[in-house]
Amino acid sequence: MKRNRIVERFARLKNERSKGFVVYIGAGDPDLEATRQLALAFDRIGVDVFELGIPFSDPLADGLVNQLAAQRGLESGTTPVKVLQTVQAIRKDSQIPIVLYVYFNLLHRHGFARFIQDAAAAGVDGLLVLDLPPEESENYEALMREAGLCVIYLVAPTTPDDRIELIVKRASGFIYYVSREGVTGMQTKVAANIADMTAKIRKQTDLPVAVGFGISNPDQARIVAASAEAIVVGSAIVNQIAQHGKQPDLVQRVTNFVQSLARSVKEQPS
């Protein structure tokens, strides 16, 4: 199996006793050139994993902020093929680990096995297929292993213990713990049971646990990073892109915001 950037990054973070910082944005919002520039800027300021949402017309797991980002991505002409081309362009200048956040329908349309091969060839490191449960994904997991890609799965606060055990056995790279029920979106405070849930997940796996859904400012990032190997911030950053998308200094403005979050994560003792 080829070396995987996600696996290598988390191994390095563990070695350095440092917390990981995962950033999500919608691909093609406001356009794919901005996506490429943001990826490079995020790499420079210490983002550990870049999660890129492929825009889809029915993003059921997403709240309003990310739904609107998907809509803007579709309006800018973003397609799965163009996202892969953008990843290739990013790879000319950066080795930041990249996860594609995607709905199953898009893989199905492209050709399931072909999409996985094309993603690996473009320089993608993992896929998070939002609506593909592990119970139905044996063929998918085999193809992903063959391509050297990480299979990222979600665990929710409502996931029963026996199902957590099933999910973490089938996952690779890291476990994405969704810290609250419902859809993506910014929250005024973090969920109270994060430490208990991450401890419960850790009993079942050695994979790092990344906590996301709702983290929207440096203080929240600091609190959550205390009980996880990594944190994921999406909607708060997507919201910055929505606010500044038409500004010529979009990349700088968004990067400044992301840097404030990165600092609060990296200040954490591991």
Which residues are marked as active site? 51, 62
Asked if 234 contacts 51 with a C-beta cutoff of 8 angstroms, the reply is yes
250-266 vs 32-44: helix axis angle to the nearest 10?
40
E strand map for the chain: 20-26, 49-53, 98-102, 126-129, 150-151, 153-155, 175-178, 209-212, 230-233
Asked if 250 contacts 244 with a C-beta cutoff of 8 angstroms, the reply is yes
Angle at CA of residue 61, ends 60 and 63, nearest 5°: 95
Asked if 208 contacts 171 with a C-beta cutoff of 8 angstroms, the reply is no
Query: How far is residue 173's CA from residue 181's CA, in Å, rounded to a whole number?
Result: 23
Query: How far is residue 227's CA from residue 197's CA, in Å, rounded to a whole number?
Result: 9
Query: How far is residue 110's CA from residue 114's CA, in Å, rounded to a whole number?
Result: 7
Query: How far is residue 152's CA from residue 112's CA, in Å, rounded to a whole number?
Result: 16
Residue from 161, 268, 253, 156 nearest 220 by CA: 268
Query: How far is residue 75's CA from residue 55's CA, in Å, rounded to a whole number?
Result: 10
